[in-house]
Each structure stands twice: as structure tokens, then as C-alpha cells.
Structure 1
Amino acid sequence: MGKHFSIFYFILLSTCISAQEMVTPVIKIYLEDAKTKQNISDSKVTLEGFELPSIRANYDKKKKYYYFTKIPSGYNTIMAYHKKYNEKGFQNNNQLPKELKLQLYNSLNVCYDFETEPFKNSYIEDPYKISISTVNYLGYNSSKDFINQTIKDLKLEIELVNPYWEMNKIEGNPFSTSQNESYPKINIKENQEVKGDFIFPLVGGVSTIFPDRVYSNKPKDICFILRKIDGSKFKRFNDPIIKKLKQQKFEVYSIILNKKNGTEFKTDFKIRDRQNKKFNLKNKADSSKVFFYDYGLRNKRKPLRLFNFFKKDYYLPFDEPNKYPQLPTFVLISNGKDETYNLFPETGKENPVIHKIPIPDDALGLGILDLYDYYSQLSTDIKGSAN
């Protein structure tokens, strides 16, 4: 009896092993550290769709890739999550590729190869906020009222937030002391500039704090920013709130934060990263309300002096008013279909290769950066093979 059982067990085990070996992935996902190029084997990789439960990928230890053996109807997105790295993914509403490689960065040093100076290697993503505007400009006061009324009518758990005003309250700076809400009503003509009586974010990625800087700061330039009331992140893809806003004909923009100011073009940011984290912890800063990496004026009061191994003084630079041109604190990335679709019209002058980005989903968020990155690399590969 024992002998027969052993034979049966051996046959069953062999069958299971053979079945596993015969599994054919419909998509393979390779993850690597963007800096070291080392394989990442402990990430959570999921298959996702709009308002559908996520499906977790299997991992092949021998071949070092994550995989799915089938893609159910409605699933159009691959996402990778890891505590040490930034979220990253890919979406295609028509058909996902058979192989996908994602490079992950430390969450404070997110980089995409298509970026150029002054932003290359110098920004992080803000998943807590989006910016919106009406397709047809209604004027500042009317736009604000229309946004608030739409939020109320749709019963969306979001609200307008002014990161500069919120940070101003934390730092206790003497700016806009009479401003008692993030986006107050203003009595300014559309052709007039918004003076220092108010502190607003502007679409150029700066604020109205220093009106003598060279940038447009009229009412039409005021940037309306939204956050979730519970302080949670917007989804990178398939976000229901973004989808509803787009269905109401709003222009939706994702936000990335610039880590450089006028004095820091060669800084590696390690000191700033530590100081930024320390500041946020000390002040219990709500990342959904403020720009959680804000070079602003927080270093103005006490320039940081450190002593390195060679006993040389190091001063943490800061952006002094009226001394340097103001670089944008944040950059808006449009989720507009036309702009996305025509991002890479060609990759060569003599033999142009047309490769357009497939029209993204209406619920697209920061994932627009992932699509830019993927198709940028694809265009580069096509150009390389053509040469």
C-alpha cells in the first residue's frame, strides 16, 4: 500500500511540476532599480482596471520577471508598488504589450529621460493634488464658484487647496495676513496684476508672493489645485474622481515638484532631503495640503551650516527674493488627449519614424509620465534599429 502511494505521489508531483513549467505568460514585467540596474524581486505588481479589483502578479524566481497568464476583460493597466521606490505603471486600452520593463527610482529622486534642464533629475511627483481649469475661462471668481458647485453637485470628496497659503500659515511668514481662506473672492479687474495682498499659486508654477518677479500674475493665471478631503493620494491610472471631472469638461493637470532653485543647479539634494523631512515631521505638515517638498522660504531664517569630513563650512543655499529669477516650484503636466497623442511625432530628420501615444483613459493621473517615458524609450529604440 505504501509503495503504491509513493508512486501515486511521485506521479502527482511530477504532473504539478510539468503543469507549472507549461504555464505561458501573456505578459512579462521586468522591474529594475533605475540607478543600480539591479533586479527588484520584492515588489507588488498588479493588473488593474477602472473600478475593478486588482489582481496580483506571480513571480518567476528563475527567470526574474513578474507575469500574468491571462488578462480579463476591462483590465488595461500594469502597476508596480514598493516601499522604497516610486509607484510606476503602464496603461493601454487596446492591448498591453507582451513584455514591459519598468525602472523604479527612490521616491525623492524620480526622473524621466525625456525631461531636460532645469528639471532633469530634480523633481518628485505630487500624488496628493491635481490642478483643474474650465475649458472656457470664466474669470477668477466665477471659475472658483463653478468648481465648488460642481464638487457639491457630484458629491465628490475633494476640495480646493492653496499649498502656498497653507505653508504660509505653518511658517508664520508676514504674507497675506488678511487672507482667511485658500481662494478668497478678489475684486481685481482681469487686466490687473494680483499684488502681494494675496498669496496664490500661478499656472507658471510660482506664487504671487513677489510681484516684482518676471511672470504673469493676473487673475487668469491663478492655478486652482484640488486635494482629497481624507488626504489620500489620487490614483496613478483609473481614478474615478479624475474621470468625473473630465466628463464635466474640466482640463485636468498632474503636478510634479521642482527641487531646484536659483542657487542649486549642482546640488545632490541629500542635505535638502533630510532638512525637508525634518521640517515636515516637526510641523506635522499635511502632504495633501502643502507642497511636501517646497524649497520656498523655509531656509531663509537660518542658513544651515554643516561641517564635512575636511572641516569646511557648508551653507545650505536658499532662494533670496530679488536676487535670482524665480524658478517654478511646481510643473503642470496636461492630461489633454491631443497633447498626449502628438508628443513624439518623429525620431529622426532623414527617416522620420512616426510613433504616437495611444489616446489615454479619461481617468489618467500621474501615469501620464509613465506613458511619456515608455513611448519615449520605444521611439529611441525604433530610431536605433532604423540606423
Structure 2
Amino acid sequence: MKKVLFVFSLVWFSAFSQKDVHALTVYLSDAETGKNVKGAKVTLEGFEIPAIEGKYDKKNKSYYFDNIPNGYNTVMTYHEKYNEKGFQNTAGLPKELKIKLYVPIAVSYGFEKPVLSKEIGHSGGKKINYARMPKNLDMVLKTGKTVSNPNFRYIYVEDQYHIAIISKYDSKQFFENDTIKKILDELSLEEFEQNDGSYQKYAIDIATGNLASCKKGGCLIMNGVDYVYVLRKKEGAKFKRFNSPEIKKLREKNFKVAALTNRKLEYYGEAPFNAERYYGGFYKNLMNAMQYHDFRPGKIGQAYWDTQQKEYKMYYGSFDPNSVSDNMPSSDDDIGYSIFFVIPKHNNSGIGLGVLDNIEADDSTKDQYFFNNKYNN
């Protein structure tokens, strides 16, 4: 009897201990607070196959899948409050993933380690539009020393609705080419042009690798220039972060295709960046004040005056509406230079912005991708 009881106990213990063992477990956390994120939709995905939605484990505060069918090599997370993010490994997914989520207007990448110097950002130290010079940058400019700080970071807004084609053909050759027109039509893609100047054609000067805005009537023609054309879906939908059929098929046709993300802020504050305080506090109130031309302290909002003085002073100095610039804080961080290309070096890939997710998960893979606001062949 004791032997039977022992065997039953062993079987029960074995079954109980394996109850929470899954093929894949995904943990989501807020990138700034570190707190667990629930209420997300976490899916298994592959190329042109239906997504499989995971289940949530309240006890372990995780999402899980008990089976990973053939062809499913991607995990994606969707949440109304956070930026889309995922992970792909065509060789096979791990048993556990930990993914940090950012609010869409304040995405940053942990594999970037900003350092203040005369050479990085700020036009080589020549032109700065800070109303009051941050002490770290001031030290760099006076002494020539570089300064690193764990609080330094670049803040991006990712563009999920557009991709770019990098071509040696000017716009007439490119968009009037019958073969190219046929491919774009088959994929339901069109050139995106916007009258307000948010997007326009760009040329790349290969001598420097820098983007240069095209003047009206065409780009400046010079030796070694590539052209950049922004495309969108005709129905206005998002491009998939991974497994995009449009991106994959364009690359298979030997087009140089880039996903796009836009650097909106270089944060060199003394305290850790906090998106909720920054955008929900002083920045939001500042923009409201600019809209209604009312700059009295009481109208700006107590939140700014109590919590954001250090950050505000760093970017704008004393409160002077004339010192506010849309291109903050670097004087050369305009629409051209703020566009960053995101390109895997393997040209048959359907991966878009997911490149950045993969580097974030394993920064040793960054040599497999191109991520910069310069481009060299």
C-alpha cells in the first residue's frame, strides 16, 4: 500500500510540477517602470500564415504558447498603450522571451549608448540651439572631453506606415519605368508626398552618406548620389513589423528597402527620462501655451513648474516663447537628418522595424543590419 501511495504521489508531483511548463513563455514589462504589462495581445506569427494568439497566465504574469507549429518563427506584442514590438528567429524561438514595451512617442533602444562629444550630434559642436547649455555639453565644448551617462538616450517615433526605396534612378526614371510601375501596382504601393513638407524626396550624398532635402524641381544632381523615395500602401494600412510581403517581394526584386524611424529628441538630462512626465507634463502644457499664446505660469500648469524645471531649463533656459524650437535640441536635427534607415543586410528578408527589436534582444546581431541616418553602399 505504501508503495502504491508513493508511486501515486510521484506521478501527481510530476504532473503538477510540469503544469506550468510551456513551449514558449513571454514576459512583458514597461520599459521605464519595469512593471508587468497585462492586457496585451501576444501572437505567434510567420510569413503569410494566420497568427496564433497566446494565453495569459495570471499566476506567473506571463503569456504562453503550448505549441509552436512549423513556420511560426515570430512573436509579436500589441497593446493600446504601447508601441508594437516583437522578436523573430528563423532558426527557432527560445522557450522564454522578456520584452520591454515603450509608449509610441518615446521609443528608445538599449543597444544605443549615446555619448556627448564634439563629433556626435550638435553639428560637430559648432551650432547649438539650446537656450541654456546643459552642463555636460558645456564641459565637452570647453574641454573637448567626451561624457557618457546612463541617462543619455535618443528618443524615436517609429513610422509604421511608410517604407523607403533607395535608388540610383532619379524620380522620372524611377516612377516612369514600366517594370517598376508594374511591381508597385501589384503590391498596391504608391509614392507618398505631403504638401506640408513632412515627407519629401531626398538625395544621399555618397561622399558623406548624409541625406539632403531635394529642392523644388528635383534633387541636386552630383556624382555619387542616390535618391530616397517614400512609399505607402494605397489603402493606408501599416506595414508588418516582421514578415511583410511587400518588403520581402521588393527585396527579392533587388530593391534597397528601408523601414523608417524618426529621432525626435536627444535626451541628455541629469535624471532618467520619464515619458509620462515629459510629454504629459511640461511639454504638453508648453505646446498648449504656444497654441493659445498664453505663457503665464498659472496657465502653463502646476505640473510643469513643480516637476519639469530642470528638463525645461536644459532645453529652453528661462521661459521665453521665442526660444522654443521645433527642432529640439540639436540645430541639425531637421526632417532630413532625423530619418533613420532600418535595413537588414540580407536582401531577401521581409523584416521591417523588427530589425530593431532583434538587435534589442541581442545586440551582438547588430552587424547583420543597417541602422543609421547615413547610408553607404
With the shorter chain as reference, the TM-score category is 0.5 to 0.7
Compute the displacement of 1:152 (Å): 4.8
Secondary structure of the 2:105 match is coil
Of residues 138, 145, 157, the one that matches 2:188 is 157
Amino acid at match of 1:239: S
CA separation of 1:206/1:270 partners in 2, compared to 1, >3 Å: closer, same or farther?
A: farther
Compute the displacement of 1:32 (Å): 0.3
Tell me which residue corresponds to 1:252.
257
Tell me which residue corresponds to 2:233.
228
* Percent of aligned positions that are identical: 32
Tell me which residue corresponds to 1:47.
44
2: CA distance, partners of 1:276 / 1:217: 38
Amino acid at match of 1:200: K
CA separation of 1:205/1:40 partners in 2, compared to 1, >3 Å: closer, same or farther?
A: farther
Listed as ranges, the matches of 1:308-347 within 5 Å are 308=300, 309=302, 313-315=319-321, 317-318=324-325, 324-327=331-334, 328-337=337-346
Q: Say yes or no: does 1:127 pair with 2:136.
A: no
Listed as ranges, the matches of 1:256-295 within 5 Å are 256-260=261-265, 268-270=278-280, 274=284
2: CA distance, partners of 1:50 / 1:363: 8
Compute the displacement of 1:88 (Å): 0.4
Number of equivalenced pairs: 279
1: CA distance, partners of 2:34 / 2:64: 20
Over the aligned positions, Cα root-mean-square deviation in angstroms equals: 3.8
2: CA distance, partners of 1:148 / 1:34: 45
Of residues 364, 372, 375, the one that matches 2:351 is 364
Tell me which residue corresponds to 1:200.
201
CA separation of 1:57/1:147 partners in 2, compared to 1, >3 Å: closer, same or farther?
A: farther
1:280-326 alpha-carbon deviations (Å, 9 max, x no partner): xxxxxxxxxxxxxxxxxxx8x99884634459745362158xx9445
Of residues 72, 78, 82, the one that matches 1:81 is 78
Amino acid at match of 1:156: L
Tell me which residue corresponds to 2:314.
none
Report the TM-score when normalising by structure 1: 0.61
Secondary structure of the 1:121 match is strand
1:148-172 alpha-carbon deviations (Å, 9 max, x no partner): 734457612110113xx4324x9xx
Compute the displacement of 1:28 (Å): 0.9
2: CA distance, partners of 1:271 / 1:78: 34
- Point out the more displaced range, 46-55 or 216-225: 216-225
Q: Does the Cα contact within 8 Å between 2:24 and 2:96 map onto a contact in 1?
A: yes
Gaps of 5+ in 2: 1-11, 115-120, 122-151, 205-209, 307-317, 367-377
Compute the displacement of 1:270 (Å): 4.9
Tell me which residue corresponds to 2:196.
167
Compute the displacement of 1:33 (Å): 0.4
1:24-56 alpha-carbon deviations (Å, 9 max, x no partner): 301111100001100112111000011111111
2: CA distance, partners of 1:362 / 1:147: 25
1:227-264 alpha-carbon deviations (Å, 9 max, x no partner): 01111100000111111111111111110112138xx8
Amino acid at match of 1:132: I
Q: Does the Cα contact within 8 Å between 2:153 and 2:268 map onto a contact in 1?
A: no
2: CA distance, partners of 1:227 / 1:33: 30
Amino acid at match of 2:87: F
Listed as ranges, the matches of 1:66-145 within 5 Å are 66-117=63-114, 120-134=153-167, 137-145=168-176
Q: Does the Cα contact within 8 Å between 1:303 and 1:317 map onto a contact in 2?
A: no
Higher-helix-fraction structure = 2
1: CA distance, partners of 2:235 / 2:287: 21
Q: Does the Cα contact within 8 Å between 2:343 and 2:352 map onto a contact in 1?
A: no
1: CA distance, partners of 2:248 / 2:287: 33
2: CA distance, partners of 1:224 / 1:276: 34
Higher-strand-fraction structure = 2
Gaps of 5+ in 1: 1-14, 171-181, 183-198, 211-215, 279-298, 339-360, 380-387
